[in-house]
Structures are given as structure tokens and as C-alpha cells.
């Protein structure tokens, strides 16, 4: 059997081995080990299951609202929710936060606005904005982290 015929039998195996070697080179060239580059630092701490301290009531836990955004800064936690309900329903819900030890320092109109409350050295503000055409309400909850 001529030489070129013998090497053709092994061509698929050589192609696979070459592709695997190239893939290996690409991975090592990116400097990735275990999914992180050396300067990534430690992974971020896990978020609390609720996203906010336990004494902060979340409208989404007691209604059809859904979480649409979440961010954490050095001092604050900001959670954005959206509900199909008009502003009065979530506003009434948050007016009941005094049962959790919060003191309301600024109430809001029934049509929307911002409700502010304090508890010890922490602050909570909840802003309610009606969606156009009565399509629901966006709720932005901002609270300081527990000290």
C-alpha cells in the first residue's frame, strides 16, 4: 500500500489530536486557571438569600411583584421591583413597616412618591412610580446596610 494511502487512514485521528492541542493552547494562553485570572482577587461574597436584611419587608414576597434589579454599594442596598398593581397597593403595604420596628419619617401620596423610614441608625426609602397607562408600579427600595 502506498505511503499516502496509509496516512489517510489516520487523518481523522490526527485532526482530532491537533484540534485538542490547539484548544489546550488557547486555554493556557488566556491565563485562565480555575476560571479566574491571577489578578481577579477573591470571589465576591454570596448575596443574602433575600438581598436585604431580614427586618426589611419586601413587597415581592407578599404579592405578584418581581425583582428587576439589585445593586449593592459600600453603604447601601438598592432593590427594584415591578408589580402589575397600582401604586396604592404597595404604598399601603409599606405603610405597615412600623410593625417591624421602623419609624416612618416621611409618608407619600397615594398616587406615588417616596416613603422614608428609620430604624436605629439605618435608613429606608421606598419610591413608588406608576407605569404609564395603569400598567403597574415600579418600586425602588433603598436601605443602608446593617452596621
| Pair (32, 79) in one structural domain | no
Q: How far apart are CA 60 and CA 82, in angstroms?
A: 8
Specify the pLDDT at position 60: 84
Domain extent, residue 117, equals 59-144
State the total domains in the chain.
2
Look-up of cell digits 491537533: 18
3-state secondary structure the chain: CCHHHHHHHCHHHHHHHHHHHHHHHHHHHCCCECCECHHHCCCCCCCCCCCCCCCCCCHHHCCCCEEEEEEECCCEEEEEEEECCCCHHHHHHHHHHHHHCCEEEECCECCEEEEEEEECCEEEEEEEEECHHHCCEEEEEEEECCC
| pTM of the model as a whole | 0.65
Residue 68 lies in a domain: yes
Verify that 70 and 105 share a domain, yes or no. yes
- Return averaged pLDDT per consecutive 10 residues of the chain, 147 residues in all: 55 68 67 54 55 84 86 92 93 92 94 94 94 92 86
Q: What pLDDT sits at residue 82?
A: 94
Q: Are 69 and 81 in contact (CB under 8 A)?
A: no
Amino acid at each position: 500500500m502506498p505511503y499516502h494511502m496509509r496516512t489517510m487512514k489516520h487523518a481523522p485521528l490526527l485532526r482530532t489530536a491537533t484540534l485538542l492541542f490547539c484548544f489546550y493552547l488557547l486555554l493556557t494562553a488566556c491565563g485562565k486557571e480555575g476560571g479566574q485570572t491571577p489578578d481577579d482577587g477573591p470571589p465576591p461574597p454570596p448575596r443574602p438569600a433575600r438581598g436585604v436584611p431580614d427586618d426589611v419587608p419586601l413587597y415581592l414576597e407578599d404579592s405578584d411583584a418581581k425583582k428587576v434589579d439589585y445593586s449593592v454599594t459600600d453603604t447601601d442596598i438598592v432593590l427594584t421591583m415591578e408589580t402589575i398593581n397600582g401604586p396604592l397597593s404597595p404604598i399601603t403595604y409599606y405603610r405597615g413597616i412600623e410593625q417591624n420596628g421602623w419609624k416612618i419619617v416621611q409618608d407619600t401620596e397615594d398616587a406615588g412618591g417616596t416613603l422614608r423610614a428609620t430604624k436605629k441608625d439605618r435608613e429606608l426609602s421606598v419610591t413608588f412610580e406608576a407605569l404609564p397607562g395603569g400598567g403597574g408600579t415600579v418600586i425602588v427600595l433603598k436601605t443602608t446596610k446593617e452596621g
